[in-house]
């Protein structure tokens, strides 16, 4: 039985031991699914939340994006940690009421948390950087689509 299990485990790469088979499966199917979820579903939700807040898409633009693999103790990819930063020139140097800024942040966060089946959003997943005029979104997407 053990030899049969090893042969099945080596079906993609030919290696019955080690993590190459697991990574092969992830690279073959999982990475595309994660990318697709991020770029076709989650990022448009972020964009829409900013559009709702600011009123027009000329008020903000993409600034930077960072994806970091999340690997468990068995060296298996379990998801991706994503940080998307948007520049909002009107926010730069804003010195208005902190309560208003927090209110806007909470509205955006609530909209994104409503999509919890797609990504994990915690209380600090949305940050307003008023000094530099940026909004930073941080979230995780699980491999396999479950949070």
In order along its 147 residues, the chain shows pLDDT tens digits of: 455 544 444 566 777 777 777 777 767 777 888 888 899 999 999 999 999 999 999 999 999 999 998 989 988 888 899 999 999 999 998 887 889 889 999 999 998 988 767 788 999 999 999 999 999 999 999 886 444
Among 136, 112, 107, 134, residue whose Cα is nearest residue 122: 112
Q: What is the pTM of this model?
A: 0.80
Interior angle at CA 45, CA 123 and CA 43, nearest 5: 95
Mutual angle of helices 98-113 and 43-54, in 10-degree steps: 140
Q: Would you kindly state where each structural domain of the chain is located, as residue ranges? A: 2-142
**Beta carbons within 8 Å of 45's beta carbon, 6+ residues apart:** 111, 112, 115, 118
């Amino acid at each position: 039985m053990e030899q049969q299990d090893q042969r099945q485990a080596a079906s993609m790469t030919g290696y019955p031991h080690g993590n190459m088979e697991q990574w092969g499966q992830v690279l073959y199917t999982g990475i595309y699914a994660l990318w697709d979820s991020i770029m076709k579903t989650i990022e448009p939700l972020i964009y829409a939340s900013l559009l709702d807040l600011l009123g027009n898409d000329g008020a903000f633009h993409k600034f930077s994006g960072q994806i970091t693999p999340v690997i468990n103790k068995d060296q298996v990819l379990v998801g991706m940690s994503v940080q998307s930063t948007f520049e909002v020139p009107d926010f730069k140097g804003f010195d208005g009421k902190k309560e208003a800024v927090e209110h806007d942040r909470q509205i955006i966060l609530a909209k994104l948390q409503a999509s919890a089946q797609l990504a994990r959003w915690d209380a600090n997943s949305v940050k307003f950087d008023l000094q530099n005029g940026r909004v930073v979104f941080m979230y995780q997407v699980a491999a396999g689509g479950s949070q």
